[in-house]
């Protein structure tokens, strides 16, 4: 699915919303005028377990341009909101 992607998590109307985008763009370009609570890099992939397709998400690192780090629960937020898969 997504390899070498970047992400930010913004707050919109009190809800944390992930935005995943190409690693060719900077975090600060995407974050313009948004309240960013986390940022970093992510990998989204898929695998089969007992005949069922599953999604795997890794999130980590930090944004140098925003000076914001990733958080422990970011992968779960991306998995739930971007992949629409329950955690």
Looking at residue 86, its pLDDT comes to 74
Maximal CA-CA distance, the chain: 44
**Sheet-wide strand order for 36-49:** 15-22, 2-12, 36-49, 52-60
Between CA 8 and CA 49, with CA 1 as vertex, the angle to 5 degrees is: 115
What is the rounded CA–CA span in Å between residue 84 and residue 64? Answer: 29
Q: Judge whether residue 22 has pLDDT over 90.
A: yes
pLDDT-derived band of residue 1, with 50, 70 and 90 as boundaries?
low
In a domain, 86, yes or no: no
β-pair partners for 58: 43
In a domain, 66, yes or no: yes
How many domains in the chain?
1
pLDDT in tens, 29-72: 999 999 999 999 999 998 899 998 888 999 999 999 999 999 99
**Domain boundaries, position 39:** 2-81
């Amino acid at each position: 699915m997504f390899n070498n992607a970047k992400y930010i998590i913004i707050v919109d109307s009190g809800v944390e919303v992930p935005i995943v985008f190409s690693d060719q763009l900077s975090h600060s370009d995407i974050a313009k005028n948004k309240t960013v609570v986390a940022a970093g890099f992510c990998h989204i992939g898929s695998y089969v377990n007992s005949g069922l397709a599953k999604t795997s998400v890794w999130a980590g690192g930090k944004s140098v341009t925003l000076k914001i780090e990733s958080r422990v629960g970011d992968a779960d937020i991306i998995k739930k909101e971007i992949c629409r898969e329950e955690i």
